[in-house]
Structure 1
């Protein structure tokens, strides 16, 4: 009798473990080619032979099939998982969809998301942060609550995940993706790579996240309400095994994207251009990193040659806001170009500023803790804090953006806020009197592009 019971328990345990191998986990969303498409991504430990999302408004009455790919990050022979991806298109705008994902061998819990509105007065809202690990992810609980209460339309995670996704043969990455499921399963989780994703040729980043250009590209852009958001990789400047080719390729891709974004018909519909990348051009922390030096590589380009730098490119094409992380701080800068402040006026520095506004938001929480600031604050630093926290953005309309910084250390208190107000959007190097000159340059660039 005892032997029979033991055998039965072992069989039940084996069956349960086999079922768990097919169970979906690490569910997360992203925008597709437009914000009216949603990509659902998840993982299983074994091949389920099918990748299915059942979804609908008020009930899961629709079904969409997708693809599955085996992923081995190269860190340990035999370790791997199956990553599934399903694209949902033709969604009814401004509607709440329920969904689950999986196969006949196992389904995820039920999630929901709200599809994007299709009216021109949409005011999208975001949570923005970088440098969040699965240890000491202090901001995570508050972000989970706010996301599920409908505060945000999307998340922008500006590099550095899990610390690190490849650690412990990828298990740290798995745990992190499970942690953010309570955010990323409900709103698109839009990302860019950081330095902590570098191992095994950035494979953990590229395979785990499905951004609009797919898992072969670090760069992408998308339009959402009045915003044109561009995501780039600062890491191509810092890991020499990529060579100069990747720097040149991204630079040319970015310039072509900015040319198209500045076409009158595009800038009229999406006037605000926001660029996000992991490593900042400016900072005043004490960690002796690249941004603490005058000639930051991403800012001025390849050392000594000073080519393919990003600051002049973003300035020349009228980028409004540049969002960075990497430093475990929050820092807001005055409008700046080449270390010179270009405030709109003394009374209203962010009203019609003469250069991009930089924001560093890398304090979501990780095992490396805080960074410290220099004793003397530079004249271009408008506000700085080392509290754990994250940034919120609301795009009100074509002329007004609102940012605020949430301190998790202070129980969710807003410790900084600003309005950026612009009556027109165009490259900073051209005044209103020189608009015809800019138009001729734009046409020349477009001819070269086409």
Structure 2
């Protein structure tokens, strides 16, 4: 017997988010239900061409033929009186796994929003709507103090930092999240089902605050297809590299993976390096440094690390990212970042937290013995890859290098507060110790620019 409630919904046309086509079996009995899913899921936000252009992205299992976002300045949701409809509509995405599982990805940009304003919104179509969420737009100038949570390597299983980040995000603690690669372990697994589950889990963060990302090695499968389809970052339309301005900071996101997966060709590496040169040169112009003095980069694999496990990051071998391709030494990033005065570099990949002294070419360049992070003479690197995941924590080397300032392999995440043009504040939160701050420090600079 077919469920009577479902039949009633079909007859009356009331079930919009989940419709069914009844198919007779060989005896002409209506038994098989081909369920069609129109309900939005995996809602997440990102910055568009500016921090006042908010991109809303969501998925449906089947095609609704339209993508709509209704929003307004913050209310109880009873009056969402502004409507944006995507001209493109949903895009069909097929995971490259054995089943070639398909779904539809929707993107709508809410353009030119008011600064420092709270909005409520929901997304979907006339076939089904998401819950009502909210977000708070930032100020669109450099004279304010944004706050961030930064981490990599979270995963679906053992997402240790997720509960605290969910709570803190919905309390309004952060203006943006930076996820420095390695998301689900892996998005492509089970024909994309693991990626779907990760996006559902982080919806309670990413539907409330822009969730800015870069790819890690666990996103590589099928030429980063899940990463490219699911995330919409500003700039070049690819999401593998981009930059954005927020408060006194120019953020630069890039892919370390273009140095390793040459089975997809060399074009991505050469295009990214040329783009990085242009972007950093422009950001380092005196007039731009005056507006946004801090330059902060984030990419997945680190240039330096304090463990003996990684074949390409153990202090004895040169990392491709740092030094460039083997033998030729082309496309190395350490010289490029040093030349253009990058202040702070975030990495992940190693499942621990490490704060480095200011470093260039394996040498420490502290500001002074008493105040190493006051007017440092080289970039400061931070590895924050301990948000969770189902792989083991990395053990540290028995003899730590001299450039290792602090380390912890507690599960946790990093906070950044950009106070002004001269002061940044960092702290490392331990999930193992119930949110205790296990490391904190200030970076103070009277002048920004190239170190050379």
Same fold (TM over 0.5): yes
Tell me, what secondary structure is at the counterpart of 2:375? coil
Runs of 4+ aligned residues of structure 1 deviating over 6 Å after TM superposition are: none
1:36 to 20, 34, 52: 52
**Root mean square deviation of aligned Cα:** 1.5
Residue of structure 2 aligned with 1:61, choices 81, 99, 114: 81
Shift of 1:348: 0.2
Q: Which residue of 2 aligns with 1:46?
A: 62
Q: Is 2:284 aligned against 1:262?
A: yes
Offset at residue 9 of structure 1 (A): 4.7
Is this contact kept in 2: 1:404–1:418, CA < 8 A? yes
Aligned pairs (5 A) from 1:103-122: 103-122=125-144
The residue aligned with 1:442 is: none
Between the aligned partners of 1:83 and 1:279, the Cα distance in structure 2 is 28
Distance in 1 of aligned mates of 2:202 and 2:121? 17
Q: Is the 8 A contact 2:115 2:140 kept in 1?
A: yes
Q: Distance in 2 between matches of 1:92 and 1:419?
A: 32
1:160 corresponds, among 173, 182, 186, to 182
Counting only pairs closer than 5 Å after superposition, residues 324-343 of structure 1 correspond to structure 2 as 324-343=347-366
The one-character-per-residue Cα deviations of 1:208-238 (angstroms, maximum 9, x if unpaired) are 0000025424110000000000000000000
Q: Structure 1 CA distance, aligned partners of 2:8 and 2:85?
A: 31
The match for 1:438 is none
Any residues of structure 2 matched to 1:259-338 within 5 Å, and which?
A: 259-292=281-314, 293-338=316-361
Indicate whether 1:230 and 2:231 are aligned: no
Aligned match of 1:418: 441
TM-aligned CA deviation for residue 119 of structure 1: 4.7
1:18 match: 19
Change (3 A) 1:251 1:214: closer
The 2-side partners of 1:385 and 1:143 are apart by 19
Structure 1: gaps of 5 or more residues: 430-450
Q: Say which is worse superposed, 67-76 or 34-43, in terms of deviation.
A: 67-76
> What's the counterpart of residue 223 of structure 2?
201
For residues 13 and 387 of structure 1, what CA distance do their matches in structure 2 show? 51
Taking a change above 3 Å as real, the CA distance of residues 355 and 152 of structure 1, as seen in their structure-2 partners, is same
Give the structure 2 partner of residue 432 of structure 1: none
Aligned partners of 2:427, 2:46: CA distance in 1, in Å?
24
| Contact persistence 1:206–1:215 (CA under 8 A) | no
Cα distance, 1:242 vs structure 2: 2.9
Contact 1:321 1:356 in 2 (8 A): yes
Q: Is residue 258 of structure 2 the alignment partner of residue 242 of structure 1?
A: no
**Is the CA contact 1:219–1:231 (under 8 Å) kept in the aligned structure 2?**
yes
- Pairs within 5 Å for 1:207-218: 207-213=229-235, 215-218=237-240
Identify if the C-alpha distance between structure 1 residues 267 and 139 changes in structure 2 by more than 3 Å, giving closer, same or farther.
same
> What is the CA deviation profile of residues 151-190 of structure 1, one whole-angstrom value per residue up to 9, with x for unaligned ones?
0000000000110000000000000000000000000000
Measure the CA separation in 2 of the matches of 1:287 and 1:345.
32
* Number of residue pairs the alignment of both structures matches: 425
Match of 1:388 among 406, 411, 427: 411
For residue 10 of structure 1, report the CA deviation from its aligned partner: 5.7
Match of 1:174 among 196, 199, 208: 196
TM-score (norm 1): 0.92
- Contact in 2 for aligned 1:226/1:397 (Cα 8 Å): yes
- The question of whether the paired residues in 1 share the 8 Å contact of 2:51 and 2:140 is answered with no
SS in 1 for 2:191: helix
Identify the residue that residue 433 of structure 1 maps to in structure 2: none
Mark the runs of 5 or more structure 2 residues left unpaired by the alignment: 21-35
What is the CA distance between 1:246 and its match in structure 2? Answer: 2.0
